């Protein structure tokens, strides 16, 4: 669906890796903007409100659109990369050290 939508509009020419990465950042940033200056309680309320929850879903969908499009154009295996990354992180963050901690691996 992501590919068809883009190709029907002849957007391949704009969808180079750099601009797609800009796409992910800018959409993720619009998602984050929804939570700017909000306390944790306000964010939870906002996510229970149908119209702001819809905005959050929309911004997140935009992130997925550009991330999937980047993967697709450069033939990146998303599931494989994610599995590999989680395996790497499991080594960097062993359960016994990382449990309940928000520290970075190099501070553990």
Question: Which residues of this chain interact with a second copy, rule CB under 8 A?
Answer: 1-2, 5, 8-11, 13-14, 16-19, 21-26, 28-38, 40, 42-44, 47, 56-58, 60-65, 67-68, 70-71, 74, 76, 78, 81-86, 88-90, 93, 95, 98-102
How many other CB atoms are there within 10 angstroms of residue 71's CB atom? 16
Residue 15 Cβ vs a second copy, minimum distance, rounded to whole Å: 8
Q: How far apart are CA 63 and CA 28, in angstroms?
A: 6
Judged by beta carbon, residue 8 or residue 50, the one nearer a second copy is 8
Q: How far is the CB of 70 from a second copy (least distance, A)?
A: 7
CB 107 within 8 A of CB 58: no
| Structure tokens given for 84 | 């590999």
Q: How far is CA 33 from the centre of its chain?
A: 14
């Amino acid at each position: 669906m992501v590919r068809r939508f883009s190709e029907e509009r002849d957007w391949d020419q704009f969808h180079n890796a750099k601009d797609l990465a800009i796409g992910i950042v800018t959409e993720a940033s619009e998602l984050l903007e929804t939570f700017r200056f909000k306390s944790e309680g306000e964010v939870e309320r906002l996510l229970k409100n149908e119209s702001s929850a819809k905005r959050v879903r929309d911004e997140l969908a935009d992130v997925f659109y550009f991330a999937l499009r980047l993967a697709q154009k450069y033939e990146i295996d998303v599931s494989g990369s994610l599995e590999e990354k989680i395996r790497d992180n499991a080594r960097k963050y062993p359960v016994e050290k990382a449990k309940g901690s928000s520290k970075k691996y190099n501070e553990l």
